[in-house]
Amino acid sequence: MNQLRAIVRLLAFVAWSVVMFFVGLVVQLPVLLAPRVGVPIKRAVSRLWARGIAAIIGLRIRVEGDPPTPPFFLVSNHLSYVDIVTIMAVCPSTFVAKSEVAGWPLLGQLSRVANTIFVDRASRKDVVRVNALIDGALDRGEGLVMFPEGTSSRGVDVLPFRSSLLEPAVRAGRPVSYASLHYRTPAGAPPADMSVCWWGDMTFGRHFWELLQLPGIEGSVSFGSGTVAAETRHDLARDLQRAVAEGFTPVTTAPDGADPA
């Protein structure tokens, strides 16, 4: 039964993503020629894709608080590639993602069409280029989402935030919104920290296949009630990490590397 569920979901995932890929290509033209008209259309397409994917993989999303309105700069803890679907379904955005995502089958192509900003975390020089792209996205009236932890985790706690890509917010005096993500699975299913969270040396292909077999996923995104501003990016990173951690509910209490309780 689980294998059949995964096969059906995989076929639906591919079919829906291919359709939205071509829709996204069509949307690129108005975004480039008339951003004021094109950006709202892009948001609507992004939300449609994410909500379709959420339905396909059995992801039910619970929202606490009010999502920010564009243009905005939003940060969150990072648990899985599922985070993109969870946030985009309720808050269509441009994402900042590690460069490896661009090479993923299908998801990489979709990310490019969605104008995802890819960053080479191994290159300090790339930060200048990425920060310029962040400025451009905000100037066009887009919402921008970043995961400052720099990697996805098991959900034990919120990791320290990296500050380098927060420079555009500090330079422009732009307050930053924040949110906390959490997942859980139904009783009897593999725990969320092992089946939804993607961390350590887990391989994408195997993890995604096992995720498709889950009977369902409950995701929650809790938006902060205010924004955070600071005079330096290091202070901003620290204050944002604290704010996200305050609203964060651990996915598991087992330490990284340990078997789930």
What CATH number is attached to the domain comprising 40?
3.40.1130
Which two tokens mark 232?
């330096």
What pLDDT, in 10s, does the model give residues 73-112? 999 999 999 999 999 999 988 888 877 777 776 667 667 6
Q: How far is CA 174 from CA 147, 168, 169, 171, 217, in A?
A: 17, 8, 5, 8, 34
Task: Give the pLDDT band of residue 260 (cuts 50, 70, 90).
Answer: very low
Widest CA span of the chain, in angstroms?
A: 55
- Flag whether pLDDT at 255 surpasses 70: no
- Which residue intervals of the chain are DSSP H helices? 2-33, 35-57, 82-90, 107-113, 126-139, 167-172, 192-195, 204-212, 233-246
Task: Give the percent of the chain with pLDDT over 70.
Answer: 89
Task: Classify residue 191: in a domain, yes or no.
Answer: yes
- Residue 261 has a pLDDT of 36
Total structural domains in the chain? 1
pTM, rounded to two decimals:
0.89
Domain that residue 88 falls in: 2-246
In this structure, the number of other CB atoms found within 10 A of the CB of residue 209 comes to: 15
